[in-house]
Every structure is written in C-alpha cells, then in structure tokens.
Amino acid sequence: MNLSAVIRQLEEKLTVKISMETLHAAFPDDPELRLSPDEYWHHSDDCRAKKLNPKTFPVCCANKARSVFIARRGRMFRGVCPYGVEELACPVIFEGSLAAVLYFGAVKRDAPLIDKEEIRHWACWLRDYVQLELARWSAVSANRKKKHSEDYYLKQCRAFIDRHYNRNPTLGELAELLRVNPNYLGEIIRKHGGRNFRRMLLERRMREAEIFLKLHGGTMKIGEIAQLCGFSDSNYFSCCFRREYGITPGEFRSRGGNTGKAFQDTEPE
C-alpha cells in the first residue's frame, strides 16, 4: 500500500481531510510516496471553493506558507485558517530538515476536529510512516552508486511546475530541492526539454488558462483567471496569451475557446 492509499484510509477512519505540503525530492520520485493531485491541496468542499475563487485563493496560499514556516520548528500545532477550517499540522523532519507537513483538517468550516487525541495519535503514526519511507528511498538512492540520470531531473522539473505553477516557482527553488547547482540543472532542462525553466512554466500556465477560459469564461474576469494561473498582473497575462495564441484572452473566450491554431506545447519523448 502506498502513501496515497494510506491517506485515503485514514481520512475515512478519522472523518477528516488529509493533505500534504511536500518539500523533499522523494515524493514525486518514488511511486510509494507519490500522491494524487488533490492530496497536495486541502480538498474539502469548502477549501475547493476557496481555491477556485481568485479573491480568496491568495489568502489560502499565504496561510499555507505561514504554516510551513511554523512547521520548520518541528513541533505539531493546531490552528484555524482565515475561513474557519480547523486543522492539525504535523511536521515531518528527515535528516534534520523539514521534508513535509501533514495537515489533518475538519471536513467543514466552523466544525471542530472530532476526537483530537485520536487524530494526534494517527498524525504521529503517519509522520513516522513517512519518515521510514523517506529512509527507504534514501537508502535505495545511495545504493545506486551513481548520479541521477539527466532524464530524472527533467521529470522532477515537470512535476515541480505542475505542483507550483499557480504561484511563482523558481529554478533556484527546484535546484535547492534536488541539491544540485542551478546552472547545471538549467542546462539539463534546456538540453533535454528543448526550452528553459521559465518557458516550461509559461506553457503550463497557458494550458491552465485555456481550461479556465473555456469552462469559466462567462463567469470569471480575465484578471481572476490570470491570478489563478499564477500571473499577478492581468496585463502581462494578456500579453503572454496573445504572444502564444495570436489573439487576446477575451477574443479566445468570445470564439468559444478556438484560437485558429494549436498551442505548441510538445513534450519530448
């Protein structure tokens, strides 16, 4: 049973929603530690609604960043998010650094966590389980007795962008996560990916923008869609969109999601 399945079972047992903020390279790399997309986010119905709202989404992101900062102290803590969801945050420390944060959240806002002592018990159990899995991954990696392949770094880059495209991820952050030199990593990405980190990030954001414009184009403002896709400036978003598609986001929306040309986002085999 992998970590994702364990989390699902604990959610049912405890009647909570469990999510993780992962900071260690093992999580996207190891099949036993890899999570499903929603497990990287608080995924109760209330949390989903807040993350789809461009006015509340930045508040959620800021609150998550603050909780990660507190978690670096290494102690478990409880809190209530700005929108009334109570949660228990449990840091996972591995080799002296914060590897992840486990969040055990209430299913609904303004509802207390049920049986908090039992939740603390299982949070400690899950923390220990993750630490053991990280130790296993580390031992396996050490036993390979060779550097990671260049393809490995490219896959890590794509996974990193998929998780963080809606904020402002940097090549430096990824290099720190993978413990390699940023210049070396940048060269690998350009060599095997055919474009640099910023270009890959832009392409990921454009794919997301297409989806929002097609599905929510009639109900959301261009600026709101821009923010959800990681652009703090709607004018810059419109310029990028027009440069890629030849038309503005508004024109794209009025045409029902038809640009007249396919967006070139090819992934090398």
Among 98, 52, 56, 106, residue whose Cα is nearest residue 79: 106
Hey, where are the domains in the chain? 3-146, 147-269
Q: What is the pTM of this model?
A: 0.67
Find, among 142, 129, 71, 63, the residue nearest to 100 by Cα: 71
What is 147-269's CATH number?
A: 1.10.10.60
Strand blocks (E) in the chain:
17-22, 77-80, 86-94, 97-105
* Distance of alpha carbon 258 from alpha carbon 68, whole angstroms: 41
Please name the fold of domain 3-146. Beta-Lactamase (3.30.450)
pLDDT truncated to tens, each residue of the chain (269 aa)? 899 999 999 999 999 999 999 989 888 888 899 888 777 777 777 887 787 777 888 888 888 889 999 999 999 999 999 989 899 999 999 999 999 999 999 888 888 888 889 999 999 999 999 999 999 988 887 665 456 788 889 989 998 998 889 888 999 989 888 888 899 999 999 998 899 999 999 999 999 999 888 887 677 889 889 988 999 889 999 999 999 999 999 888 888 766 555 444 444 33
